[in-house]
Amino acid sequence: RVLSLELNKDRDVERIHGSGVNTLDIEPVEGRYMLSGGSDGVIVLYDLENLSRKTSYTCKALCSVGRSHPDVHRFSVETVQWYPHDTGMFTSSSFDKTLKIWDTNTLQPADVFHFEGTVYSHHMSPVATKHCLIAVGTRSPKVQLCDLKSGSCSHILQGHRQEVLAVSWSPRHEYVLATASADSRVNLWDVRRASGCLTTLDQHNGEKSKASSEAANTAHNGRVNGLCYTNDGLHLLTVGTDDRMRLWNSSTGENTLVNYGKVCNESRKGLKFAVSCGCNPEFAFVPYGSTIAIYTIFTGELITMLRGHYSNIDCCVFQPNFQELYSGSKDCNILAWIPSLRDPVPDDISEKSPSQQPLNPAYEDAWSSSDEEG
């Protein structure tokens, strides 16, 4: 299904944003509701379900925190995320130096955290049961941990030298956090440890560091502005402004040396990319200018480029239940990419014999047709 993703002509996402779409998130509980955050500070909540049951439909915006809302973010919203355990709460962070915790039903902030610098990224652990920490990456080199339970921002992780552009909790270990910085480094932390940092990823796997201490332990030769764990948490993908994507073994910190070729990345801030879930092989979906590049994660092969946006894409998010992809761009649009399983066939053929419908070779014998059984 992922191999046959295409721009869906029958599904639109209602256009609400009047400026670029920076961030998307689909809630993990039902996979039905999607949040988007725009560079004008607006947040929109969509229902992805086709309630009309018609072939062509528009995913409707249920509500939004618009410019006239008293608590709207003053500047660009960089990250939105659903509370991982229910849809009653979501979070947003912005260049206005705040992280807001929202009550979904009232669209009022339940809590607001203030920071000294621009907020580039934040993340809540998808698996944590023993803590409610939100990791926050800001213009400061210090990684902040905000506690939802106490409402305080007491915990700080020190180790980076420049702003922190992306943060991501491990989906495997609830206390392990990955952070990416403009200092070319990616750090893995255990937030229970006083020293914090477990390891700093090194693209040369320790071989070059003997010659020059300055080159030691950099993940990229440029700003590292994107991070994404594979769903099992065993590997970590990073992207940097050196136009490279790298795959790391997250337990050893080793660079697996998968070559993805040139992965163009001109973003001055965080780049939000996504990985597939439940596919074999697994794929990475990476914004690449105004297209989305799809790579197989473990071989580095570029499978295809999805074209449809008119301007640079800032984010994409994968919906695992239906293997669908949604992307947001500076062109103010959110596009839906849906698998097309069958080639179109003339009506008269399909009525006579369902079995004659041409099938993409990738799917032959993989499923049974229930037409005859019915």
pTM of the model: 0.89
Average pLDDT over residues 108-119: 96
Contact 103, 117 (CB under 8 A): no
pLDDT band at 356 (very low <50, low <70, confident <90, very high): very low
Q: What is the pLDDT of residues 261-294, one digit of tens each?
A: 999 987 878 899 999 998 889 999 999 999 999 9
pLDDT band at 354 (very low <50, low <70, confident <90, very high): very low
Look at residue 165 in the predicted model and tell me its pLDDT: 96
pLDDT reading at 213 higher than 60: no
Tokens of 42: 């607006």
Q: What is the pLDDT of residues 49-104, one digit of tens each?
A: 998 888 899 999 999 999 999 999 999 999 999 999 999 999 999 999 999 999 99
* Residue 102 neighbours by CB distance under 10 Å: 24
Distance CA 272, CA 239 (A): 10
Q: What is the pLDDT of residues 4-57, one digit of tens each?
A: 999 988 899 999 999 999 999 999 999 999 999 999 999 999 999 998 888 899
Look at residue 266 in the predicted model and tell me its pLDDT: 77
Query: What is the pLDDT of the chain when averaged over all its residues?
Result: 90
Look at residue 282 in the predicted model and tell me its pLDDT: 95
Look at residue 363 in the predicted model and tell me its pLDDT: 47
Look at residue 355 in the predicted model and tell me its pLDDT: 47
Distance CA 245, CA 226 (A): 9
Q: Which residue has the higher pLDDT, 192 or 213?
A: 192
Distance CA 263, CA 270 (A): 15
Q: What is the pLDDT of residues 131-189, one digit of tens each?
A: 999 999 999 999 999 999 999 987 899 999 999 999 999 999 999 999 999 999 999 99
List the single range of 103-117, 258-272, 317-331 with lowest mean pLDDT: 258-272
Based on C-alpha coordinates, what's the Rg of the chain?
21
Helix/strand/coil (H, E, C) string of the chain? CHHHEEECCCEEECCCCCCCEEEEEECCCCCCEEEEEECCCCEEEEECCCCCCCCCEEECEEEEECCCCCCCCCCCEEEEEECCCCCCEEEEEECCCEEEEEECCCCEEEEEEECCCCEEEEEECCCCCCCCEEEEEECCCCEEEEECCCCCCCEEECCCCCCEEEEEECCCCCCEEEEEECCCCEEEEECCCCCCEEEECCCCCCCCCCCCCCCCCCCCCCCEEEEEECCCCCEEEEEECCCEEEEEECCCCCECCCCCCCCCCCCCCCCECEECCCCCCCEEEEEECCEEEEEECCCCCEEEEEECCCCCEEEEEEECCCCEEEEEECCCCEEEEEECCECCCCHHHHHHCHHHCCECHHHCCCCCCCCCCC
Look at residue 211 in the predicted model and tell me its pLDDT: 53
Contacts of 325 (CB under 8 A, 6+ apart): 5, 274, 285, 292, 306, 316, 317, 318, 319, 336, 337
Q: Which residue has the higher pLDDT, 363 or 203?
A: 203
- Report the CATH number of the 2-339 domain: 2.130.10.10
